């Protein structure tokens, strides 16, 4: 909009000035401001302004009072107002003037664009933008036609042609990325309930649930070149699927992967990677959720020492066109892989049966491998497809180019469900005052039924986060009281004005005392005659909650080294709770990356295991998370509405999701729209955490040792249990649950995808 305003002002300065006068009241302050703004660029108007004698101090404020400002509080919230009252008032006035001038520019551009398009139909920049915006909002045709009649939009038929043209350009962008031979292909199933079919005599029974496959193509970054992926033949020669393989690698052995990242500081401090992260997390919780005094250390506290970071550079990606393929079968996955390659413009040019897109030339991928990403179910079906195709004659038909990358978002969901199985699902946990099930009831007293049956991903993550914060703040209270009995609360501790060095020392004490680790002898503790069984359960609970926080932090900050250090711990937990598919899939993936694949390919996988759509620090996302986000946009936002909500419409619009998002954001920003975000604001948890803290302090006392305190449910050390083959064989059979790629936690919504911290 600002560019359009500049163009109109440059081409027709007097028209621009005239529109400004017509759109403001005579003698109003708005007219004076608009005229001065224009005069700065057109000296010929300065004399006119001097003659009119506009005076800012005596100008009328009618123009401002007549405008309807939506959500004023939101408008001023972004401005840091000075403590000085007069300065604050001046800042508010300046901001109000700037917004009014912006709205005035919008109206002048709209009027000038209407004049220009009436004379010349090709002068339709604003109308085309508005047309795409109306289309992306699923605006009814009658509304589009009204905007067309006014002159603010192009016709519905023109909008359809624009969508077709944009779809073609998007397909060319996909080919451009794919034909670099350094592309990541991510795909997953997307089930959409259309609910609009009417059975007919020709089609007596129509299933309303459409099984489609969506995805995107991203360009590999961080120095990856096609030569790094030229290893298809090398890997096939030692593949277990190759009957003529010369050297088949050993089966995955997790014990050989425990020292991938040696901890050089362990011998000096006795604290490993996980302990030092826990120290940081304890301090971070105190700073952000403790008394106000500790906020001063927010900028001083450094992030945990990274192990192997991905540089925060923006990932280039483009949504793929959704495929009318049921991906729940092996044959469906074969079709999905072939179609994704075709959209990327690669494959085997000599294969007459290959999938073709617009009959364009393709680049031969026979000597290269291609990275594919998705959830665990997709991984298993792709492996089945490779096994089925292993007898084919050509590399592409054998699918020997497929290198699958495990999706970390679905892994995190599985970790969430594993904690639910351990700490909440057993009915015996409801009788313990310090169990996670009881703490969740204090946090969410009206949702105990949901939490104990099917909590869903978002609800369970929030229970994990908030319960962990309250438990660690309770540890701070106990640690402070141990140092000085006068510090009976965190407020009293804050009043002593401790330094950051003091906090680090106390946090180390907390980690060594109140959180279980690999050195904690839980067996001996429980065998004591005066053992506190609930306290022992809390030690394990604290350890596992922090292990979840460490996985989340590593994913958000692109620390693949830290992810690899927590992998074995989660593998053992998954094996112990019965999620054997995740345990074996994680072991196989880690083994292949570090023991089977060539070094260049291994680095390419690790540096692109997470992507960064924004290019900002702390904004890394798992590729399968981005794919779920695109699915949500297709189903809920840009896939059409009512009678237009069809499979054909969804497929046609799928490749333009990012274009629609960009257009919507641009309109919202340029037209000064506020309060339209779909992202939920963070809840104020201070009172809720205070209530839970009071419960922990007065009733549960989970971090205190109370001799002979009993528990109805002894929580096993699942990390140790998962290392034992005997224990793993005794784990309950939950293979049916593992078939749910989302960890059995149901469908996603906006709030699920917002939980990335």
Q: Which band of pLDDT confidence, cut at 50, 70 and 90, is reported for residue 671?
A: confident
**What local confidence, expressed as pLDDT, does residue 680 receive?**
64
Give the pLDDT score at 84.
55
**Per-residue pLDDT at 80 exceeds 50:** no
Predicted confidence at residue 137, as pLDDT, reads 86
Contact 492, 486 (CB under 8 A): yes
Tell me what percent of the residues of the chain surpass a pLDDT of 90.
52
Q: Which residues lie closer than 8 Å to 388 by C-beta, 6 or more apart?
A: 330, 334
Distance separating alpha carbons of residues 384 and 329, to the nearest angstrom: 9
Residues 6+ apart with CB under 8 A from 373: 184, 185, 186, 404, 405, 406, 407, 623, 624, 627
Higher pLDDT, 535 or 77: 535
Q: Where are the chain's structural domains?
A: 2-62+87-123, 165-251+312-406+642-670, 256-310+409-602+685-754
Token pair in block for residue 152: 């603010």
pLDDT at 735: 44
Helices (H), ranges, 578-695: 580-591, 599-607, 623-636, 647-654, 657-670, 686-695
540-564 pLDDT, tens digit per residue, is 999 999 999 999 999 999 999 999 9
State the average pLDDT over residues 147-176: 92
Query: Mean pLDDT throughout 428-451?
Result: 90
Q: How confident is the model at residue 194 (pLDDT cuts 50, 70, 90)?
A: confident
Dihedral over Cα of 372, 375, 377, 379: its sign: positive
Which comes out higher in pLDDT, residue 566 or 202?
A: 566
pLDDT grade, residue 59 (50/70/90)?
very low
DSSP state of 303: P
| Bridge partners, residue 183, by sequence | 219
Closest-CA residue to 417 (of 441, 469, 453): 453
Ranges 52-66, 192-206, 488-502: which has the least confidence? 52-66
Residue 624 contacts residue 632 (beta carbons within 8 Å)? no
113, 125 contact by CB (below 8 A):
yes
Q: Classify residue 298 by its DSSP letter.
A: T
703: left (phi over 0), alpha (psi -120 to 50) or beta: alpha
Taking only the tens place, the pLDDT of each residue in 702-756 is: 999 999 999 888 898 999 999 887 655 555 544 444 444 444 465 556 556 666 5
304, 370, 546, 591 from 558: Cα distances, Å: 12, 22, 18, 20
Give me the pLDDT at residue 571, please.
96
Question: Which tokens in the block code for residue 235?
Answer: 């890997």
pLDDT in tens, 446-494: 998 889 988 889 999 999 999 999 999 999 999 999 999 999 999 999 9
DSSP string, 48-89: HHHHHT--TTT-B-HHHHHS--S-HHHHHHTS---SSHHHHH
Rg, C-alpha atoms of the chain: 31
Of 78-82, 95-99, 189-193, 378-382, the range with the lowest mean pLDDT is: 78-82
Alpha-helical segments (H) within 344-397: 376-389
> Could you tell me where the DSSP H helices lie in 243-329?
266-269, 273-289
Two tokens at 283?
């301090």
* pLDDT at res. 26: 56
Grade residue 329 by pLDDT with cuts at 50, 70 and 90: confident
Query: How large is the average pLDDT for residues 180-198?
Result: 84
Residue 75 has pLDDT above 50, yes or no: no
Q: Give pLDDT, residue 645.
A: 73
Nearest Cα to 92, choosing from 100, 196, 334?
100
pLDDT exceeds cutoff 90 at 498: yes
Q: What's the whole-number mean pLDDT along residues 297-310?
A: 94
The pLDDT value recorded for residue 287 is 96
**Percent residues over pLDDT 70 in the chain:** 83
Q: Which of 416, 326, 456, 343 is nearest to 378 (CA)?
A: 326
Mean of per-residue pLDDT scores for the chain: 84
Per-residue buried b or exposed e for 336-350, using 16+ beta carbons within 10 Å of the residue's own CB: bbbbbbbbbbbbbee
Residue 268: its pLDDT value, please? Answer: 76
Q: Dihedral, CA atoms, 602, 605, 609, 613, nearest 10 degrees?
A: 140
Lowest model confidence (mean pLDDT) among 278-287, 439-448, 642-651 = 642-651
Could you tell me which of 190, 459, 456, 165 has the C-alpha nearest to residue 328? Answer: 190
| CA distances (Å), origin 317, targets 217, 254, 457 | 6, 34, 27
pLDDT tens digits, 21-48: 888 765 555 555 555 555 555 555 445 4
Chain position carrying tokens 């359960």: 537
Instruction: Please provide the DSSP assignment of 174-224 as one string.
Output: HHHHHTTT-EEEEEEEEEEE-------SSSS---SEEEEEEEEEEE--TT-
Report pLDDT for 81: 44
Task: Return the top range by mean pLDDT from 123-127, 422-426, 650-654.
Answer: 422-426
Q: What is the mean pLDDT of residues 397-404?
A: 94
């Amino acid at each position: 909009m600002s560019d359009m305003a500049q163009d109109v002002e440059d081409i027709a300065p007097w028209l621009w000035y005239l529109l400004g006068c017509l759109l403001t009241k005579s003698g109003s302050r708005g007219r004076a401001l608009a005229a001065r703004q224009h005069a700065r660029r057109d000296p010929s108007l300065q004399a006119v302004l001097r003659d009119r004698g506009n005076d800012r101090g005596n100008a009328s404020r009618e123009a401002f009072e007549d405008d309807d400002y939506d959500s004023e509080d939101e408008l001023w919230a972004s401005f840091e107002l000075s403590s000085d009252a007069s300065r604050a008032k001046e800042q508010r006035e300046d901001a109000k003037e700037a917004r009014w001038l912006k709205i005035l520019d919008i109206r002048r551009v709209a009027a000038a664009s209407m004049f220009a398009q009436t004379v010349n139909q090709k002068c339709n920049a604003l109308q085309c933008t508005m047309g795409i915006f109306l289309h992306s909002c699923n605006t009814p045709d009658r509304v589009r036609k009204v905007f067309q009649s006014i002159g603010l939009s192009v016709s519905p038929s023109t909008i359809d042609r624009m969508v077709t043209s944009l779809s073609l350009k998007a397909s060319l962008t996909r080919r451009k990325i794919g034909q670099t031979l350094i592309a990541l292909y991510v795909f997953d199933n997307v089930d959409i309930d259309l609910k609009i079919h009417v059975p007919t005599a020709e089609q007596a029974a129509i299933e309303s649930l459409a099984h489609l496959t969506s995805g995107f193509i991203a360009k590999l970054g961080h120095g990856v070149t096609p030569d790094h992926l030229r290893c298809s033949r090398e890997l096939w020669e030692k593949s277990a699927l190759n009957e003529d393989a010369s050297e088949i690698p050993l089966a995955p052995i997790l014990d050989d992967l425990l020292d991938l990242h040696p901890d050089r500081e362990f011998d000096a401090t006795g604290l490993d990677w996980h302990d030092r992260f826990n120290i940081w997390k304890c301090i971070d919780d105190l700073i952000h959720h403790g008394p106000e005094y500790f906020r001063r250390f927010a900028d001083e506290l450094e992030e945990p020492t990274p192990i192997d970071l991905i540089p925060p550079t923006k990932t280039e990606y483009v949504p793929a066109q959704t495929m009318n393929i049921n991906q729940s079968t092996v044959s469906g996955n074969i079709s999905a892989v072939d179609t994704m390659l075709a959209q990327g413009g690669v494959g085997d040019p000599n294969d007459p049966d290959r999938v073709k897109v617009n009959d364009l030339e393709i680049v031969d991928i026979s000597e290269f491998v291609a990275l594919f990403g998705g959830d665990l179910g997709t991984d298993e079906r792709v492996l089945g497809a490779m096994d089925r195709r292993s007898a084919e004659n050509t590399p592409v038909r054998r699918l020997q180019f497929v290198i699958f990358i495990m999706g970390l978002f679905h892994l995190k969901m599985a970790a969430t469900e594993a904690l639910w199985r351990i700490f909440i699902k057993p009915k015996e946990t409801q009788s313990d005052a310090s169990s996670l099930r009881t703490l969740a009831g204090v946090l969410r007293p009206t949702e105990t039924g949901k939490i104990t049956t099917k909590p869903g991903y978002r609800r369970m993550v929030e229970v994990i986060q908030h319960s962990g914060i309250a438990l660690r703040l309770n540890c701070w209270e106990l640690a402070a009281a141990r140092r000085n009995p006068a510090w009976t609360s965190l407020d009293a501790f804050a009043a002593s004005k401790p330094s950051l060095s003091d906090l680090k020392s106390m946090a180390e004490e907390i980690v060594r005392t109140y959180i279980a680790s690999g050195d904690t002898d839980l067996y001996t503790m429980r065998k004591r005659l005066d053992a506190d069984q609930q306290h022992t359960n809390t030690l394990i609970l604290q350890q596992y909650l922090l292990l979840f926080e460490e996985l989340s932090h590593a994913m958000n900050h692109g620390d693949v080294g830290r992810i690899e250090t927590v992998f074995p711990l989660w593998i053992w937990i998954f094996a112990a709770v019965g999620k054997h598919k995740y345990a074996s899939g994680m072991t196989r993936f880690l083994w292949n990356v570090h023991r089977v694949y060539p070094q260049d390919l291994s680095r390419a996988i690790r540096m692109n295991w997470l992507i960064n759509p924004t290019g900002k620090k702390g904004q890394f996302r798992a590729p399968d998370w981005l794919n779920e986000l695109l699915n949500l946009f297709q189903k809920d936002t840009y896939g059409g509405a009512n009678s237009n909500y069809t499979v054909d419409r969804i497929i046609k619009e799928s490749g333009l999701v990012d274009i629609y998002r960009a257009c919507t954001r641009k309109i919202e920003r340029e037209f000064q729209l506020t309060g339209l975000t779909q992202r939920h604001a963070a809840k104020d948890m201070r009172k809720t955490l205070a209530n839970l803290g009071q419960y922990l302090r007065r009733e549960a006392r989970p971090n205190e040792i109370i001799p002979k305190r009993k528990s109805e449910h002894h929580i096993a050390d699942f990390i140790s249990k998962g290392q034992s083959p005997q224990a793993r064989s005794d784990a309950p059979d939950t293979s049916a649950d593992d078939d749910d790629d989302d960890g059995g936690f149901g469908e996603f919504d906006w709030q699920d995808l917002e939980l990335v911290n």
